Each structure stands twice: as C-alpha cells, then as structure tokens.
Amino acid sequence: MKEFPSCFGENGVQVADSSSSTIRAPQNAVTCVYLCKLRDHSCFITVSWTKTLMGQGLSVGIDDLINHCLCKVEIKPWLFSKRKGSKNLEVQFGKVEIFWDFSFAKFGSGPEPLEGFYLAVVFNHEMVLLLGDLKNEACKKIHNKSNFVVDSHSSAVFIGKKEHIFGKMFYGTKVKFFDKGQVHDVKIECDLVGLNEPCLVIRIDSKTVMKVKRLKWKFRGNHTILVDGVPVEVFWDVHNWLFGNAIGNAVFLFQTCISTEKLWEVQSVLDSQLKDFGFSLVLYAWKNE
C-alpha cells in the first residue's frame, strides 16, 4: 500500500506508507484543515498547532483547491513573546486579516488550547474562520482594530485532522466525524509484549467497532465501521510497531466521504465542490519508551 487514500491534496492530510519512509522523531503537533469560502473562491485553511520547549506555536496557511499557497502566517512559540496580535495579508483577490489571543488560554497535554482563546480569519470584512470559546471578544477586537462589524458565524467546514498520539498500549483522541456531529472518543489498543499473536482493537466511545487478529499477517489493511450512521473507512499500518525501528510509529486513517446532499443537511454553506470532501483523521501513534 503505497499511500492511504485521501479526500484532499498534499497540503491537506495525506499519509505515506510509514514503513518505506524515513523514521522521524515524534512531534507534538496537530494540524487541522477547514474548507472555507473567500468571496467566490473555495479554499483550504490549514491551522497547525505545535508544542516545543519554548512553548506553544501556531501557523495558519491558506491554499486554493489545487494546493497553491495564497498566504501563510507563522506565530512563533510565545513563552517569551506576546500571546495576542494580528496580521494583515494581501492575496490576489482581497485582504486577509488574522487575529489571535492566547493570553488566558488553557492547555492539556497536547499543543491545542482547550479554552480561553480565539483565532479568527477575516477576509474583506467577513468572518471566514473563528476558533475558540472567546467569540464575542474576537468580534469586539476586530471591530476596535479595523472599525468594522463582523458576524461571529463562519461558513468553514472542518474536513481533516492530523495528530501525533503517544502511549505504550493505549492511544486515544477526540474527534467529530462531520462538522456538526458529536464529539467521539477514539481509542486504539495494541499489546505487543510477549504475545505471539498480537491483536489490534479500536473502540469508539468505549464500544468495540473493530478487532484485527493475527496482526503479524494483517499489519496493513482497511475496514468499514459505522459512526452516527455514517460509514467510516479505517486504514491501518502497524508495520513499524511489529518489524521496524524501536521508535517507529503506526499510522491510522479514519475517513468518511459524505455525499453533497448529506453535507447540505448538516451545514448548508459551500458549493458543489464539497462532493469530493468528507472528513479525514490521520493518527501517528508513537510508542513511549
């Protein structure tokens, strides 16, 4: 399996065969991809959260549907710098403004803030993407800074997430499989210690939805599960866990390609180009020593 299939291009979430690529050290990083509208143009906005010894960092990139970068902003780790600010950028068909405030942000073990923050992307006085729980504060800041009023509602659709997760036997994350769906707990269990025939188990909200026995023979594969009545294709590659480098990672892809009609039922916001996009969750699972 050369490549996991993906609903979007190489600037979105796309996973190469982990066994054939160079083994890299794990990173504490989460990348989220949103499908948005800039005037009459559908675009991807990619938000990448990182965590280093210097603190939390962030980058925001805007790409068109053929993966041509329109603009990108890097917000360096803010341990020794201001945690709030704004940036103006000119693109070929308008003006992009990015506002952020992490002064009171609370974090868990990962790089993404849990609460007490906002991140806003505005295009030509229209809210394109608004993340965080401080939405009113974001709108007030934008009004004071640029002297125009924006609506806190944005038309962005969350279509992909790429995340590094860590564990010895259990790996978990939280995810919504479509934009207005409920948040689910995803748990991956794989015990490799002292077992001749290790088994891979995946649970959604504590319910077992997939079990792979004889894993040494089935270290790569795919299986379809149902979540909220929606088919979700699960791809796995655990070659590095079984046969590779001690610090190698397994790769899991959860992918749903929802029809255009279903997406319009969920959130009527974008055009017919949505037919090619569902939601993709890519997990790089690293074993702790």
- How confident is the model over 107-116, as pLDDT tens digits? 988 899 999 9
Tokens of 201: 């188990």
**pLDDT over 70, % of the chain:** 80
SS3 141: helix
Burial of 107-144, coded b for 16+ CB within 10 Å and e otherwise, reads beebbbbeeebbbbbbbeebbbbbbbebbebbbebbee
Q: Determine phi and psi for 135, rounding to 5 degrees.
A: -70, -40
CB 182: neighbour CB atoms within 10 A?
Answer: 10
Predicted confidence at residue 23, as pLDDT, reads 44
Total number of residues shown for the chain: 289
User: Which among 172-181, 202-211, 251-260 has the top mean pLDDT?
Assistant: 202-211
Burial of 279-288, coded b for 16+ CB within 10 Å and e otherwise, reads bbbbbbbbbe
Q: Are 95 and 124 in contact (CB under 8 A)?
A: yes
Q: Bigger pLDDT: 115 or 24? A: 115
CA distance 247 to 267: 41
Q: Is 262's pLDDT higher than 50?
A: no
Predicted confidence at residue 257, as pLDDT, reads 65
pLDDT in tens, 31-44: 999 999 888 888 99
User: Residue 1: CA atoms inside 13 Å, Cβ hemisphere, count?
Assistant: 19
CA distance 88 to 73: 10
Beta bridge partners of 275: none
CA distance 121 to 142: 10
pLDDT band (50, 70, 90) for residue 4? very low
**pLDDT over 90, % of the chain:** 43
Alpha-carbon dihedral angle through residues 191, 193, 194, 200, given to the nearest 10 degrees: 20
Strand order, beta sheet including 94-101: 84-91, 94-101, 118-123, 126-132
Tokens of 141: 């800041």
Q: Is 265's pLDDT higher than 50?
A: no
pLDDT band (50, 70, 90) for residue 153? confident
Question: Which residues contact residue 241 at a Cβ distance below 8 angstroms, ignoring those fewer than 6 apart?
Answer: 190, 192, 219, 248, 249, 250, 287
Q: Is 142's pLDDT higher than 50?
A: yes
Beta bridge partners of 230: 227
CA distance 222 to 253: 9
SS3 272: helix
This prediction's pTM: 0.81
Q: Bigger pLDDT: 271 or 173? A: 173
Predicted confidence at residue 155, as pLDDT, reads 81
Q: Is 21's pLDDT higher than 80?
A: no
State the average pLDDT over residues 250-278. Answer: 58
Strand ranges for 39-147 from DSSP E? 41-52, 55-64, 69-75, 84-91, 94-101, 106-107, 113-115, 118-123, 126-132
